Structure 1
Amino acid sequence: MISVSNISYFIGGRALYENASMFIKPKDKIGLIGLNGRGKSTLLKIINGELKLDAGSVSKSGDCTIGFLNQDLLSYQTEDSILTVAMGAFKEVVDIEREMEHVIKTLETEYSDALVEKLSKLQEKYDHLDGYTIQSKAEEVLEGIGFATADLHRPLKQFSGGWRMRVMLSKLLLEKPSLLMLDEPTNHLDLPSIEWVENYLRSYEGAVMIVSHDRTFIDNVVSKIVDVTQQQLITYEGNYSFYLEEKELRQEIQQGAYENQQQKIKQTERFIERFRSKATKARQVQSRVKALERMDLVEEVVDDTAAVNFKFKFNQQPGRFIVTLKDVSKAYGPLEILKHTSISIERGDKIALIGANGKGKSTLLRILSNTEPVDGERIMGFNVIQAFFAQHQLESLHLENEILEELKQAGSGKSEQELRGVLGCFLFSDEDVFKKIKVLSGGEKSRVALAKTLISEANFLLLDEPTNHLDFISENILIQALQQYLGSFVVVSHNRHFVSQIANKIWYIEDKQIKEYPGTYDEYEYWRKKNEASGLKKVEPPKAQKKADEPKPKQTHTPSVDAKLKMLEKDLKKAEDLVTQLEGRKASIEQALATPEVFSNVEKLKSTQADFKKVQEDLAQANKKWEALAEEIDQISAP
């Protein structure tokens, strides 16, 4: 259907593609993947005819049509209703309908057999094109993708960019082109809409090519992966999970071939160098020189994976309860978001807040962060230090700052070497750390903002759609960071793979109540689908098992309780000071153990090791006492 043959495309002196090729067959479901900046969106524009190639060609069959959803469509505005915009997919049918209306109006005053015959032919053609069903088809797609029935007749210009993108996606789905190209279609969709689009695309009659950083979406839709790497297009038959396995196998083979070839090259170069000046070996030397020149070089495998190799630490341990919402209500005029709902976050909770857009997820994050006024009580726990990440915070980055300077100003107290280590984990290495913020892509800015959030030494994180604009590798880095993070967090995300890797509790908003499922996302999905299969669409999630010895929280404070609370807080401060002192002592001994004068002297080494063991025991006891005091304070303070 479409052949991409030996294409080369340069931006300045940098090659995005060089002699790259691929084929698109009818009904292919292709996932286009690769690191940000490798040229995925550029390839879609090349296939769509928007960009001129430096070499090579793109050819397509005569009856091939292309529909292209890209981020530029966010700016499209009109006074037409979203239903009218979506029905623009049926241009021929709409034109016939308008002509029929004109003929009928003319017949009211100028009746003639010719007009009646014309109307009859128009009606026959209209019926043949299923004209009487186009509105219901458009309504079905719009509602499937998340619009309420009442919204269908509202003007497009009244909707935000993300919702406008949904309308344009609906129009493309209704047009049913031979090739449907989608650039990050899930960025503006909530979970129910993503699942609906997945089902639609799986049964789509034409070919589909998708650029997406949503691993689960790609896995569920595509049957072929095209990897954009090293200026080439490498095709894998299978979904993303198959691609990961197959790529690892291919890379092992390629790396082996590369190492064997490098060894052969070194041997040949040694022979040439050794016998270059000997006349009797001149012919053999020349033969080997020509062999080297003709050799097709095997590329060394570039490792696209990245691992986080440091711990995100914070100095202050929080108490048992992080935040408690008690009898909370929130409304915007007549629109009620929450109504008399209560819930608590405990130390160690890793919560994913999921669900459809418009239910109040971002509002709930702002309530938790105390940046949104609310009716009811929001009780912050003891020693809680919070940090908030949202996409709009990218705008607060200082554009003239270099990346390293931006992290220095975050106030974490980390040394330049430590900050370089953090940036290395977020794929900013060597000279990259001196790039100015203003030259970074959206994904790179997200990585900088996330790094700033994670080094803040907060023990409670609030993250709103942190994986937007992140490629697979950057997403994997964030997953590892949050898996290692010792604090508590609440994450709003529609990325199912991401959520399944980091959450130990699931929150969702239903009937204006905050509901909690006490388990992982995979467990939640199994529970939800099981209930839906049984016809139980709304059922209370199971309660978390309480510890047998867990005491009931106090309901009221008396003056004596307040006095005890003050005394306990005083004791906690002393315990905290002791922990800090012992940690400093431990660090000093560790440093001493690494010096030559200690490890080379048997007596000093034994004595220092004994000191180290003692300080470890004392520190463990001090931490245990701190935990006990913090627990007691929580039990008294709990609502």
Structure 2
Amino acid sequence: MISVDAVGVEFSGTTLFSNITFNINPTDRIALMGKNGAGKSTLLKIIAGESKPTLGKVTAPKEAVIAYLPQHLLTADECTVFEETSKAFSKILDMKNRMEELNHQLETRTDYESDAYSKIIEEVSELSEKYYSIEEINIDAEVEKTLLGLGFVRSDFTRSTSEFSGGWRMRIELAKILLQKPDLILLDEPTNHLDIESVQWLEEFLKNSAGGVMVISHDKAFVDNLTNRTIEITRGRIYDYKTNYSHYLELRKERREQQQRQFDDQAKQIAEIQQFIDRFKGTYSKTLQVQSRVKMLEKIEIVEVDEVDTSALNIKFPPARRSGNYPVIATDLGKSYGDHVVFKDVTLTIARGEKIAFVGKNGEGKSTLVKAIMGEIPVDGTLQVGHNSEIGYFAQNQASLLDEKLTVFETVDEIAKGDIRSRIKDLLGAFMFSGDTIDKKVKVLSGGERTRLAMIKLLLQPVNLLILDEPTNHLDIKTKDILKDALKAFEGTLILVSHDRDFLDGLASKVFEFGNKRVKEHFEDINGFLRNKKMENLKEIERTK
């Protein structure tokens, strides 16, 4: 069991949280929830031993292994994917090498009676006991199984890690963590860089093969399927619920309603006491009663109502011209890079007003087809973008196109038109920009902040064909809901590349599946698609190919 005892953190005189105490049991699957800035990532780092608290401590058994996957990391580029992942077993391999080295000394030395010889025997015995107590592992097989589960293909194993994007390097680090079989796995937004199949694989692995898990995630379906406990950080303290995320939301609502009733009752009581004091404070015969009530007021501990985000914001895309009947028509489309075929013989038609999901493993051509529609890359075959199509496009690199000299507020202010102008601060707040943040220059924003700002810009532009490539990676649950509502109300045509099942649920009515150099059309929503896919065992078939 791992204990968090009276932990507190202060920054420059400001208390982030204080006196946080709870235990983590071996079978706990914990969702760590709270608004952005509440201190979730900070608490995770403290439990991982990456940061020290201002007050309190974290205690764990001596042999306990705690593994931590941060949101952002830097990996070395000196070896292949397979070699880097195999480092998960470095302690076992080091132990084996040391035993071989010591046994060789025992075979070649002749000073049998010396203290040095005795010490070698002692060390070999101790190491042997540890080494042979470890369950026998086929290291290569375990590495291969984990890498394939996280979306790599065998040809990736011998490639240098330097050839992979940050998201794929994150998967390598995740693979190393999973292979260590730690007592506690701490994950900060692990699904941001995973496709749907890899998220499902990770979910199953953590449920069936992991010890304790604590996760920060904005993927509601992921945390609901995985967790059996929810810890919420709010107003510098925690609430601990022995239940999953969806049920926690119901219990949290009940808690806040109860707090509000207590607050209202107390406010009424305080008003009555104050009224008595004001009325009789100059009356000699009531002096003792007045003094008694003044002391009573001083002793009252004000009931706090936990912050609840009531800033419901309805965003509507500005009206745009009506597009032609078929905004996208592709016939016999193909794309190759040298000998590598991304896809071929793709024929599809997207009608006006349809909301489409592009799903499939990373590297199967989803973003490539999007870039082809945008005219950014040449392709074989015929690709037509329909008459009067006004395209709004969001990709991760949109963030790099922002004007770095402007502030956050100026970036939005220069594009906002109509009624939304009076609610720019509300809009920025919904996308996690508030207080002094709105006056920051774009050049000092983090990657996630820039991505959110680019999304706001897109929401304010009149378009009739909207293409979003992984739009939810840096959004919290509430912000995703605001975006989802805006997209539901969007009257144009929508193409969504996403691995977020909960976000796609109720939004996309048709699925295009990318895999094995083909694009297959499924006339059903994401839930129907996944249900059928599971029944057909396509997930397992594709994973082994």
TM-score for both structures, normalised by structure 2: 0.89
2:33 equivalent to 1:28: no
Alpha-carbon distance in 2 for matches of 1:227, 1:75? 29
Which of these residues, 397, 400, 406, is aligned with residue 395 of structure 1? 400
CA positional deviation for 1:97: 2.9
Structure 1 residues 400 and 280: CA distance shift in structure 2, 3 A: farther
Unmatched runs of 5 consecutive residues or more in structure 1 = 539-639
> What does 1:310-325 align with in structure 2 at a 5 Å threshold?
310-325=315-330
Which amino acid is 2:519 matched to?
I
The amino acid of 1:287's aligned partner reads: S
Checking the alignment, whether the CA contact within 8 Å between 2:99 and 2:124 is kept in structure 1 is: no
Report the equivalent of 2:233.
228
Query: Deviation digits for residues 303-338 of structure 1, max 9, x if unmatched?
Result: 225433243232311121111111111011111112
Would the aligned equivalents of 2:29 and 2:212 in 1 still touch at CA under 8 Å?
yes
Paired letter, 1:520 = D
Q: Is the 8 A contact 2:452 2:474 kept in 1?
A: no
Q: Does 1:8 align with 2:8?
A: yes
Assess if the C-alpha contact under 8 Å between 1:35 and 1:472 holds in 2. Answer: no
Name the residue aligned to 1:134.
139
**Contact 1:93–1:131, Cα closer than 8 Å, also in 2:** no
Question: 1:615-635 CA deviation, whole Å, 9 max, x = no partner?
Answer: xxxxxxxxxxxxxxxxxxxxx
2:165 maps to 1:166: no
Residue type at the aligned position of 1:11: F
Aligned pairs, number: 535
Per the alignment, residue 82 of structure 2 pairs with 83
Alpha-carbon distance in structure 1 between the residues aligned to 2:426 and 2:313: 9
CA drift at 1:376: 1.4
Shift of 1:299: 1.1
Secondary structure of 1:188 counterpart: coil
- Deviating more after overlay: 14-23 vs 336-345: 14-23
Residue 209 of structure 1: CA displacement? 0.7
The answer to whether structure 1 residue 479 and structure 2 residue 494 are counterparts is no
Match of 1:143 among 141, 148, 159: 148
1:532 aligns with 2:531: no
Change (3 A) 1:136 1:425: closer
Deviation at 1:418, TM superposition (A): 6.0
Within-5 A mapping of 1:301-450: 301-304=306-309, 306-410=311-415, 416-417=421-422, 419=424, 422-423=427-428, 426=431, 433-438=438-443, 440-450=445-455
Displacement of 1:252: 1.3
Structure 2 residue runs without a partner (length 5+): none
CA distance in 2, matches of 1:415, 1:28: 45
Compared CA separation, residues 315 and 253, structure 1 to 2 (3 A):
same
**CA–CA distance in structure 2, aligned partners of residues 348 and 51 of structure 1:** 49
SS of structure 2 residue aligned to 1:502: coil
Whichever residue aligns with residue 12 of structure 1, its letter is: S
Q: Which amino acid aligns with 2:24?
A: I
CA-to-aligned-CA distance 1:517-548 (integer Å, 9 cap, x gap): 1221112222222333999989xxxxxxxxxx
Aligned to 1:56: 56
Aligned to 2:503: 498
TM superposition shift of 1:415: 7.1
CA distance 1:204–1:425, shift in 2 (3 Å): same
Taking a change above 3 Å as real, the CA distance of residues 221 and 112 of structure 1, as seen in their structure-2 partners, is farther
- Structure 2 distance, partners of 1:84, 1:309, is 50
Q: Does 1:451 align with 2:456?
A: yes
Classify 1:321/1:418 alpha carbon distance in 2 versus 1 (closer, same or farther; 3 Å).
farther
Find the residue that maps to 2:138 and give its secondary structure: helix
CA contact (8 A) 1:81 1:156 kept: yes
Query: CA 1:430–1:167 in 2, change beyond 3 Å: closer, same or farther?
Result: closer
Task: Measure the CA separation in 1 of the matches of 2:216 and 2:32.
Answer: 5
The answer to whether the Cα contact below 8 Å between 2:85 and 2:173 also exists between their aligned partners in 1 is: yes
Question: 2 CA distance for matches of 1:15 and 1:346?
Answer: 53
Cα separation, 1, equivalents of 2:187 and 2:13 = 28
Q: Distance in 2 between matches of 1:65 and 1:352?
A: 40
Is the 1:308–1:480 contact (alpha carbons within 8 Å) kept by the matching residues of 2?
no
Name the SS for the 1:291 alignment partner: helix
**What is the aligned partner in structure 1 of residue 41 from structure 2?**
41
- Residue 490 of structure 1 aligns with an amino acid whose one-letter code is I
Residue 38 of structure 1 deviates from its aligned partner by 1.5
SS of the equivalent of 1:273 reads helix
User: What's the CA shift for 1:354?
Assistant: 1.0
C-alpha distance 217-112 of structure 1, shift in aligned 2 (>3 A): farther
Tell me, yes or no, if the aligned pair for 1:6 and 1:57 is still in contact at 8 Å. yes
Tell me which amino acid in the other structure corresponds to 2:237: Q
C-alpha distance in 2 between matches for 1:2 and 1:513: 48
> Secondary structure of 2:537's match?
helix
- Measure the CA separation in 2 of the matches of 1:535 and 1:54: 47
Letter in 2 for 1:79: E
Task: Give SS of 1:340's match.
Answer: strand
Q: Which moved more, 1:351-360 or 1:86-95?
A: 86-95
Range 311-320 or range 124-133, more displaced: 124-133
Other-structure match for 2:513 = 508
How far 1:238 moved relative to its partner?
A: 0.8
**CA drift at 1:176:** 2.1
Structure 1 residue 183: deviation in Å? 1.1
Name the amino acid aligned to 2:222.
Answer: F
Does residue 259 in structure 1 map to residue 264 in structure 2? yes
Shift, 1:222, TM fit: 0.8
Cα pair distance change 1:232/1:132, threshold 3 Å: closer
Q: Which amino acid aligns with 2:238?
A: L
**Match of 1:627?**
none
Residue in structure 2 matched with residue 577 of structure 1 by the alignment: none
Please give the alpha-carbon distance, in whole angstroms, between the structure 2 residues aligned to 1:233 and 1:45: 16
Amino acid at match of 1:91: S
Give the Cα–Cα distance (whole angstroms) in 2 for the partners of residues 26 and 536 of structure 1.
33
Match of 2:221 among 216, 220, 224: 216
Cα 1:76/1:32, change in 2 over 3 Å: same
Residues 547-591 of structure 1 deviation map (CA, whole Å, 9 limit, x = unaligned): xxxxxxxxxxxxxxxxxxxxxxxxxxxxxxxxxxxxxxxxxxxxx
Distance 1:106 1:193, change over 3 A: same
Provide the C-alpha distance between the structure 2 equivalents of 1:202 and 1:369, rounded to a whole number of angstroms. Answer: 40
Change (3 A) 1:188 1:105: farther
Do 2:234 and 2:307's aligned partners in 1 also have CA atoms closer than 8 Å? no
Q: 1:422 to 1:57 in 2, by over 3 A?
A: closer
**Partner amino acid for 1:252?**
E
Q: How does 1:557-576 map to 2 (within 5 A)?
A: none
TM-score under structure 1 length normalisation: 0.77
Aligned equivalent of 1:618: none
AA aligned to 1:359 is E
User: Structure 2: how far apart are the matches of 1:438 and 1:370?
Assistant: 28
**How big is the shift at 1:385?**
0.2
Structure 1 range deviating more: 309-318 or 125-134: 125-134
Aligned amino acid, residue 457 of structure 2: K
The structure whose RCO (Cα within 8 Å, separation 6+) is larger is: 2
- Further displaced range: 263-272 or 356-365: 263-272
Which among 458, 462, 465 is matched to residue 467 of structure 2? Answer: 462
Range moving further from structure 2, 411-420 or 443-452: 411-420
Contact between 1:500 and 1:522, CA under 8 Å: does it hold in 2?
A: yes
Q: 1:522 to 1:160 in 2, by over 3 A?
A: same
Residue 189, structure 1, aligned to residue 189, structure 2:
no
Q: 1:211 to 1:489 in 2, by over 3 A?
A: same
CA-CA distance at 1:131 after TM superposition: 4.8
8 Å contact from structure 2 (residues 231, 238) kept in 1: yes
Q: Distance in 1 between matches of 2:61 and 2:301?
A: 34
Tell me which residue corresponds to 1:617: none
